[in-house]
Structure 1
Amino acid sequence: MAIVHHWTGLEAKALRSALRLSVRAFADRLGLSTTTISNWERLLAATKPRPDTQAILDTVLARADAAVHLRFETSLSESGGPPGEAGRRVTPAGPRAWEYETWTDDLDRAVVALSRQSFAFADSLLNRWLTRFEPAELDDKGLYLFARSTALLGDLQRDQGSLLGPFSAHHSYARARSVFTQLDIPRRVAQLDLSLAVVAEMSGKLQTAARRYENLAVDDRLALRDRARARLWVGTSLSKDGDHVYATRVMTVAVREFEDLAEPDDWSVAHQKLALARRGAGDLTGALQFIDIARSSGTADSPMQRVRLDTAHGHILLSDEATRDDGLVVLDQAAEVAAQYQLVHQLRSIGGIKAMSQGPAGPRPR
């Protein structure tokens, strides 16, 4: 059943229509004048009934049968509000109860779409809400959904390789972090700090990223899994910066933590990172051992993860003259999948690896 948190003239008109009452009959039902009802219907979302009248409207709606509720919700769903300046449509002030539920469902769908790299669909799910409401018109529940949507938009932009600038992962993560700070939700703020550190790493700011990861690896605001991921990414940054031995030690601790947490996918990813660290240290036998564990133990149903695994595998094979041709084949296959799913950052990484394949060490994929 529909619940209205803040009545405006728009909702009041929809209720009158759902009850199938004339303006005069509706006014009599509420104990108000017909002039008041007429003003509501003229101003719609631009006017709000008094608090005592809002309580009366709550009661009338609560006592209505299911057919009235259905007509009420249908009327509101079809209404974009009255024309405003320059033909702009004026929307109701803030989402209603069923919109919160739909918004939450769309966020769940966006998470699934992102895991499958269905970027266009995920973008449409997120932006239908981010462009519909301004933070100033939202209550705490709406702000929470707005911040989650913005953070997921950051994930989308990061996966597509848009890292810095006004329409980038960094911008979206920073905006989401600001809203979660306003809501005083420390765990979400720390998670956004972790995401911002990932962007720093992917942008080549390896020492900055490593310092942030080190702090977050012992940050009590984060869950144990997120702290283990931060520790793993400390190792990733160190390895990319050439400190392969210490990176291996840090990553090995993260592997044990993922074992204790029974997180097989993270455990697999950790072995992928270990493989690249061992490759950087010149231990190709160990690198091949770790990448085989990663390829056989983790789920690779995500195009992103398939590309990451194949890129790491190809990078290692390319490091040995005896397996160089095999490495090029694996990298070409990874590039095809990356191009198909518009994984721009991975494409750049693959191109960099191939371009520098004659050197002792090239760029490493995330």
Structure 2
Amino acid sequence: MATVHHWTGLEARALRLALRMSVRAFAEHLGVGVRTISKWEKLLGSTEPRPDTQAILDTALARADAAVHLRFETFLSEAGPSAGSARRITAAGPRAWEYESWTDDLDRVVAALSRQNFAFAGNLLDRWLTRFKPRELDDKGLYLLARSTALSGDLKRDQGDVVGPLSAQHAYAGARSIFTQLDIPRRVAQLDLSLAVVAEMSGKLEQAARHYELLAVDERLALRDRARARLWVGTALSKDGSHDYAARVMLAATHAFEDLAEPEDWSVAHQKLALAHRGAGELSQALHFIDIARSTAFTDSPMQRVRLDTAHGHILLSDPATREDGLKALDQAAKMAARHGMSHQLRSVESIRTTTAVAGGPRRR
């Protein structure tokens, strides 16, 4: 299988030919304009698609079958090295079958993490993270190593291992270093976003908010990731007590997810918005937004259920009239978090119980 670390018009033309599509059909396939395709084919190696289009081309190549990959590599080899495009393409080498198995296992890791099956995901990752030394790998292998390391960071983050030598922060920094070496700016920016999340989770709220603000306008990221960064600016601000401003920022992110037709992120944004209104003491608004989040949740993963139950319980606890219902919701969240090894979520539940017991909750408006 082939992978492209940075697309130019040359690689894009090779993909069109490999897919056996006309210029118009290829433009429709990618969701870009015919003039854009024509420009790539005219300028070839001297032009580069925009960062968001680089991601679209990555997806189109990844979804293509083996025959398309073979034709793609053949067209590129026949074209010869073009200025500035050396080593952007790495064809399958002597470990082709291992790289294929590695790629398949990473897809299985993503699925396992979505279900919070941490043990299975960890076993799959360890199989590859300990198999090769970086100096033994070509660019394709290094790319897979970086992806594996980043997913290891996701695993550690979801388990609550945020900082330290065996933490999400350490894994993300390692993955970022490899993607920097491979010169893949989009992946580097995604790791910057993950590191900002880690900073927020470890209590560095001001630092996290600054990083999110920069990433919300970073053109290396796709529009969805930029909208997520904008939402997380609001999350960090809300945790730091700036609830009214946070709610305005989150509302803008919610509109962005609606425009992008991202229902899962749209639902999560309403959950975050509900907590910002709870912090501001606007409990009727908080209940309104958490009801939207709960009724439109796109996935039913254990992590998302725990987050929704925790947020709902937090809001209900803020009103003496619904305190008992809030405790029940938090108990339900705690049991599921414990069952799936989500220690960070467990700590959040305990913190809410303790804080609410001491403060008595915000004044209802």
Matched residue type, 2:322: T
What secondary structure, in the 3-state scheme, does the structure 2 residue paired with 1:358 have? helix
2:281 alignment counterpart:
282
Q: Distance in 1 between matches of 2:127 and 2:241?
A: 44
Aligned residue type for 1:199: V
Is this contact kept in 1: 2:142–2:178, CA < 8 A?
yes
Distance in 2, Cα, partners of 1:95 & 1:219: 38
Question: 1:83 matched to which residue of 2?
Answer: none
2 CA distance for matches of 1:147 and 1:361?
46
Distance 2:94 2:226 in 1: 35
Instruction: Determine the structure 2 residue equivalent to 1:84.
Output: none
Cα deviation code 1:58-92 (max 9, x no counterpart): xxxxxxxxxxxxxxxxxxxxxxxxxxxxxxxxxxx
Counterparts of residues 155-234 of structure 1 (less than 5 Å): 155-234=154-233
Match of 2:136 in 1: 137
Q: Report the alpha carbon displacement of residue 360 of structure 1 after superposing the two structures with TM.
A: 4.1
* 1:118-156 CA-partner distances (Å, limit 9, x unpaired): 001000111100000111110000000000000000000
Deviation at 1:361, TM superposition (A): 8.0
Residue 270 of structure 2: aligned partner: 271
- Quick check: 1:340 aligned with 2:339? yes
Tell me, in whole angstroms, the C-alpha distance in 1 between the residues paired with 2:110 and 2:244.
36
**Cα distance in 1, alignment partners of residues 105 and 156 from structure 2:** 18
Amino acid in structure 2 at the alignment position of 1:312? A
Q: Which amino acid aligns with 2:131?
A: R
| Shift of residue 359, structure 1, vs aligned partner | 4.0
Amino acid at match of 2:189: A
Distance of 2:243 and 2:162 partners within structure 1: 26
Q: State the identity %.
A: 75
How far apart in 2 are the matches of 1:295 and 1:129?
38
The 8 Å contact of residues 118 and 155 in structure 2, kept in 1 or not, is answered as: yes
* Contact preservation (8 Å) 2:337, 2:343: yes
Unaligned runs of 5+ in 2: 2-92
Flag as ranges the 4+ runs of structure 1 deviating above 2 A. 358-362
TM-score, L = length of structure 2:
0.73
Residue 102 of structure 1 corresponds to 101
Q: CA deviation at 1:95?
A: 6.8
- Mapping of residues 1-366 of structure 1, within 5 Å: 96-360=95-359
Deviation at 1:341, TM superposition (A): 0.1
CA distance, structure 1, for counterparts of residue 240 and residue 134 of structure 2: 40
Q: Which amino acid aligns with 1:140?
A: D
**CA RMSD after TM alignment:** 1.5
Partner of 1:28: none
Contact 1:95-1:138 at 8 Å conserved across structures: no
Deviations 1:155-213 (A, max 9, x none): 00000000111100000000000000000000000000000000000000000000000
Q: Is the 8 A contact 1:280 1:361 kept in 2?
A: no
Provide the C-alpha distance between the structure 2 equivalents of 1:95 and 1:134, rounded to a whole number of angstroms: 16
Aligned CA distance change for structure 1 residues 222 and 350 (closer, same or farther; 3 Å): same
* 1:96-118, Cα deviation, whole Å (9 max, x unpaired): 10000000000000000000000
Separation of aligned partners in 2, 1:270 and 1:95: 46
Residue 343 of structure 1, CA deviation: 0.4
1:292, distance to aligned residue in structure 2 (A): 0.2
Query: For this pair of structures, how many residues does the alignment match?
Result: 271
Structure 2 contact 264–299 (Cα < 8 Å) conserved: no
Mark the runs of 5 or more structure 1 residues left unpaired by the alignment: 3-93
CA contact (8 A) 1:275 1:286 kept: yes
Deviates more, 1:294-303 or 1:137-146: 294-303
